[in-house]
Amino acid sequence: MPIKRDGEYVTFGQHLQEQQQRFPSASGQFSWLMSGITLATKMIASYVRRAGLIDVWGDEGSVNVQGEDVKKLDIIANEALKRTLGYRGNVGIIASEEDNDPRVLQDVDPEDSYIIMFDPLDGSSNIDVNVSVGTIFTIFRNPPEVIGVEKSVLQKGVEQVAGGYVLYGSSTVLVYTCGNGVHQFTLDPQFGAYLLTRENIKMPEYSRTYSVNEAYLHRFPESYQKYLEWSKDPEGGGFSSRYVGSLVADFHRILIKGGIFLYPPTEAHPGGKLRLMYECNPLAFIAEQAGGMAICGEGQRIVEIQPKAIHDRTSLVIGSRKNVEEMATFLK
Residue ranges of the annotated binding site for Mg(2+) are 97, 119, 121-122, 279
Whose Cβ is closer to Mg ion: residue 122's or residue 288's? 122
Query: Do the strands 313-314 and 209-211 form a parallel or antiparallel pair, or are they unpaired?
Result: unpaired
> What is the identity of the amino acid at 172?
T
Whose Cβ is closer to ligand AHM: residue 153's or residue 247's? 247
Q: How far is the CB of 123 from Mg ion (least distance, A)?
A: 6
Q: Report the Cα 61 to chain-centroid distance in Å.
A: 26
Q: Cα(217)–Cα(209) distance, rounded to whole angstroms?
A: 17
Q: How far is the CB of 134 from ligand AHM (least distance, A)?
A: 8
Q: Cα(313)–Cα(299) distance, rounded to whole angstroms?
A: 15
Binding residues for substrate: 122-125, 213, 243, 273
124 binds, among Mg ion, ligand AHM, none (CB under 5 to 8 A by kind): ligand AHM
Interacting residues with Mg ion between 119 and 148 (CB under 5 A): 119, 122
Binding residues: 97, 119, 121-125, 213, 243, 273, 279
Report the interface residues with ligand AHM, using CB under 6 A.
68, 119, 122-124, 213, 245-247, 273
Burial of 53 (0-12, 13-18, 19+ CB in 10 A): exposed
Whose Cβ is closer to Mg ion: residue 135's or residue 177's? 135
250 binds Mg ion (CB under 5 A): no
Whose Cβ is closer to Mg ion: residue 193's or residue 294's? 294
Q: Cα(249)–Cα(166) distance, rounded to whole angstroms?
A: 10
Q: Per DSSP, which regions of 80-208 are E strands?
A: 91-96, 103-104, 114-122, 133-141, 162-168, 172-177, 182-188, 193-198
Number of residues that bind Mg ion (CB under 5 A): 2
- Contact footprint for Mg ion (CB under 5 A): 119, 122
